Amino acid sequence: MSIQKLSLAGVQKTRAYIQETLIIPDLENNPTTVSLLEMEEEPPEPTSLDSLGDLFRAASDPEDVISAPNREGRWFLSSANAAIALKKLPGLNLRKDVRLVTYLLRTAKGGQGVTWAVPEWASGTAQLEEALVDRDVSQAPQPQPHLDHLMEALEGDRSGTSYVMASLYWREVQEFGWVGSQCRWVHHRLVDQVPAQAQWEWKTKQPQDFLPKVRVFEDGRVAVEFFTCYVKTPVTLYRHLDQYTPDSYVPQSTDRPMAIALKSS
């Protein structure tokens, strides 16, 4: 087994890059209502997510476009591409035969998002919008067909670093499109030591080393470990452990609270 320790600054930089590139267009975060009837010329029916984005910029009346952005709590198909963040992650990339697809829900108080990996041949707009037909708004849309786990869409060089990238990307993409009080991961701060600004009540044995690290086993298994501080009440220290089987970027994740802040010192 080999162990590689990573600098906190490097991991933070990677996370910042992912967050900066996972962007929802403003029109979809703050939908407006413009009927196609108000337009001089009706645009052609979209056939891809790229052309869907152009249509969103032109109109967003749910009576005219089934997936039009709205703030009434109806799910719609997003033109955002969650795979963009993979372009500069070392040793990691999207399979050529797969497309990442995101659906959004927006209300006056917040919103949700869900991202799926679908085969390239099934990523046409019309087919993706079938998941929105007769959909209970309390349930997220599920396009058919889709991969069982989004991370099955990733491939890479199997280096230790690539698995660290995968662990960070997986957590960010799970909350891609989420806004408001339901967000959690965005409130986690990466740490490499116990924050001294609080007194802590430990629920587990205190680790000796808080540096992010990756372990590569002789049989090809990989484990990625890092720590965060959840800064919302109750302020909590977490240990995150992702385990990977050989030749897979699908993590078996454990996010374990270790200590709770009692009060500021």
pLDDT reported for residue 16: 97
Q: 134 versus 98: which is more confidently predicted?
A: 98
Lowest mean pLDDT among 33-42, 52-61, 64-73, 207-216: 33-42
Q: Which residues contact 194 (CB under 8 A, 6 or more apart)?
A: 200, 206, 210, 237, 259
Read off the pLDDT band of 66 (50, 70, 90): low
Lowest mean pLDDT among 37-51, 91-105, 222-236: 37-51
pLDDT reported for residue 204: 95
Rounded CA Rg of the chain: 21
Q: Report the alpha-carbon distance of residue 50 to residue 244 in Å, rounded.
A: 33
Tokens of 149: 């786990």
Q: How far is CA 41 from the centre of its chain?
A: 36
Q: 249 versus 58: which is more confidently predicted?
A: 249
pLDDT reported for residue 138: 81
Indicate if the pLDDT at residue 109 is higher than 70. Answer: yes
Read off the pLDDT band of 45 (50, 70, 90): low
Q: Report the alpha-carbon distance of residue 212 to residue 209 in Å, rounded.
A: 9
User: Contact, 203 vs 260, CB < 8 A?
Assistant: yes
Indicate if the pLDDT at residue 60 is higher than 50. Answer: no
> Model confidence over 117-171: pLDDT tens digits?
999 999 999 999 999 998 777 889 999 999 999 999 999 999 999 999 999 999 9
> Model confidence over 161-212: pLDDT tens digits?
999 999 999 999 999 999 988 899 999 999 999 999 889 999 999 999 999 9
Indicate if the pLDDT at residue 50 is higher than 80. Answer: no
Arithmetic mean of pLDDT over the chain: 88
